[in-house]
Amino acid sequence: MNIVKTALLFGVLWGVLLAVGYMLGGNFIWIFALIGLVGTFISFWNSDTIAIRSMRAREVSPQEAPGLHRIVQDLADQAGQPMPRLYISPTQQPNAFATGRSPKRAAVCCTEGILQLLDERELRGVLGHELMHVYNRDILTSSVAAGVAGVITSLAQMALWFGGGRDRQGGGIIGALLAMILAPLAATLIQLAISRTREYSADHDGAELTGDPLALASALQKISGGVAAHPLPQEQELQDAAHMMIANPFRGGGMGQLFSTHPPTEQRIARLQRLAQEMGRA
């Protein structure tokens, strides 16, 4: 179901891009869009380096973090996938993320805060979630969604600043201006909806990998409180990596939830509790 929802959201997102391009007209628009998507591909190709640098993380060996390596190696073997590189970030906020353009190039990063907060069972649940982001190619999905949304926003800004459009008569120009203003908002909301859908999928698939949905539910409850106590500053580098983390690292709440890359924690926990009941019955 989450895969179908992601595909539908992508269809809508591409529809918005095509509509904006049609309204603006001109072949140069598509050249500009192509340049934007090439930039997105470059960012995706270097996603592991960018995210790890933003969290000031360092790679750790099996000797430095034997427990962490043991859990991840066990989960990778269980999934039949290669062992990713492991990093630890000197950040007190409890959080974790996985990145990399493929399972062979994957990296998993945990903050010092999450290693101190969670017990081994909960940490295993979190790591199962993060590994499924890699195995499901969610880094590629989120990168493409962000790239298309960015192109739509840039095209709309060009139209507002420099004009253009197929219909500039009467009310047509008003409609075009409204579209140029609303299109970036719609694209951003769709991009964020895709990100939230992939979080639900990683929760579900990671819980199936570990066989313990309640461990991840317990971890999410603890992480939510820890993030609220230690929110990260909204610096650009951290904003670019935020969608990869298991919890939104910034202070949220209220209307901010509409523009969050993550679903509400209570909804994620409720889904995991239902999955635990289903697995128990099975």
Q: Which residues are catalytic?
A: 130
Q: Rounded distance, CA 276 to CA 272, Å?
A: 6
Q: Give DSSP secondary structure letters for 150-165.
A: HHHHHHHHHHHHH---
Q: Rounded distance, CA 86 to CA 59, Å?
A: 6
Residue 243 marked ligand-binding:
no
- Locate all alpha helices (DSSP H) within the chain, ordered by sequence: 2-24, 27-45, 47-54, 66-79, 112-117, 120-135, 138-162, 172-210, 213-229, 236-242, 265-281
Q: Rounded distance, CA 230 to CA 207, Å?
A: 26
Q: Which two tokens stand for residue 242?
A: 């935020």
The sign of the CA dihedral 213, 214, 216, 220 is positive
Phi, psi at residue 169, to the nearest 5°?
-100, 140
- The DSSP output letter for 104 is G
Residue 204 marked ligand-binding:
no
Binding-site residues for Zn(2+), please? 129, 133, 199
Binding-site residues, please? 129, 133, 199
